[in-house]
Chain A
């Protein structure tokens, strides 16, 4: 009996060990997530800047985004807001026509008016990725907040959580839609479509890791702010020339 190894204790030990042994055998070993090309996601940290004083509200960015990313009409991955402060001091915000994405002339006595381009802020501490119940919303190693369309269940938690209104539920895919910073472009050395198509240079894209990049340079040399810093989201979309009417 003393030679008999199968005691109750042994069994419990075995049962404790079994799952980990199985995990080693079954664990996620197939298809590593890394790609075969030479793009190293860990080497970059993408950021964005908007010089609102340059924006003329032409809508090229919105049209480019729609064409580049198949964004359905009436939904926006990036959009331009027109702020108009009346002589009565009241602030009115509107967006361009949803079909043509062109701003129309409006009547009314205005004391101040300006355009503010907006998009996903790709927050360092993004709320939207934290609330996702299935891990379909995530931040890539290079700092871009993406949605895994194949995994998203379309619950809309992230849409509600985003303090910037940057997300929507795509009516065709029924998954969350948002700005990807044109991930398919930036990982191949191109700028996001909205940046490339801006005729005024109001949108600036670059690598925050590279101190010699255009983005890092202008952030160093100018005074930039972020939207709603009190939310603690640490946005990576920096704004120049924001008026106090813009929250």
Chain B
């Protein structure tokens, strides 16, 4: 004990420094090791903006855009766009039916875009569902086919309804006559969020059919169809704020939309006819099948416009 103390006293200064120094080295090594581990575990750019890897924000931005938007489609398909933008599907984006178009556009068309097939793509929106808002057009397709007299249930919707201009029963709108007319308020004022107010004097004129076609409208009101709106048959299609096109669809299927005899029709429905049995009843030649209803029944609807009258 004594010997040990003496030996210790002999080298007091030296030993006390050494053990402090050793402790310091140990602590520094520990700190360095901790920092090294931190350096390895904590990713780069962590904590710059918050407790996350700031570079991850940029990585999220680098993901490729796949739905490229209508502008890119119009660059090549302006003809389709001009029809599409004026019809009931105007608010339906191209890529919502055709799928993302980035590959197709980048390859300038060499990569095919999806062409929807079958009824399902149409029925995704137009199938009659409880939850679907009632103002939205929707059908039970089997009943609809029965109603319009399409027997082939394998037939796709687009055989009658052009998907780009679905209102016009596969008619080419460009062949229709330009017509100066503006429809009712709600034809233009449909957008709930459209709050851009016009000055009243900028407002386009509103026409009634009778302003120009007084004779026809009066004649029409005396006849069986008097409760039918002009626009039901002469579908109007707005082309600009001042002009539109009137479609007169005289395909028999159009009249049959209301007049086909069917067991599910209600009692107050318009008079039904058997089709095409009706043609045989009135002793038509088989070749006359293509004949339009109005060829015989025009007088039941309204008197025929003279060409000069219509041009006024």
Taking Cβ atoms with an 8 Å cutoff, the residues of A that contact B are 6, 8, 11, 14-15, 18-19, 22-23, 26, 28, 30-35, 39, 41, 53-60, 63-64, 67-69, 82-84, 100-103, 105-106, 110, 113-115, 135-141, 146, 148-151, 180, 183-185, 187-188, 190, 193, 196-197, 199-201, 214, 217-218, 221
Contacts and interface: CB of A to CB of B under 8 A. Distances in A.
Nearest to A114: B131
Given A19-B35, A32-B45, A183-B61, A151 B53 contact: yes
Nearest to A39: B61
Q: Shortest 4 CB-CB distances between A and B: which pairs?
A: A33-B54, A138-B52, A113-B130, A148-B56
Nearest to A187: B61
Contacts of B24: 11, 14-15
Contact of B55 (A19, A31, A69): A31
A135 B46 contact: yes
Contacts of A114: 131
Q: Give the interface size class of chain B.
A: 35 or more
B193 interface: yes
A105 B45 contact: no
Nearest to B193: A218
A83 B131 CA distance: 7
B109 interface: no
Contacts of A106: 130
Contacts of A83: 131
Contacts of A23: 35
Given A33-B58, A201-B91, A136 B52 contact: yes
A67 B93 CA distance: 15
Contact of B128 (A105, A139, A184): A105
26 contacts: A14-B24, A15-B28, A18-B28, A28-B47, A31-B55, A33-B48, A33-B49, A56-B125, A56-B133, A67-B66, A68-B65, A68-B67, A68-B100, A82-B129, A100-B120, A101-B124, A135-B51, A135-B53, A138-B50, A138-B51, A141-B49, A148-B56, A183-B63, A188-B65, A197-B95, A200-B136
A18 B31 CA distance: 9
A105 B59 contact: no
B193 A33 contact: no
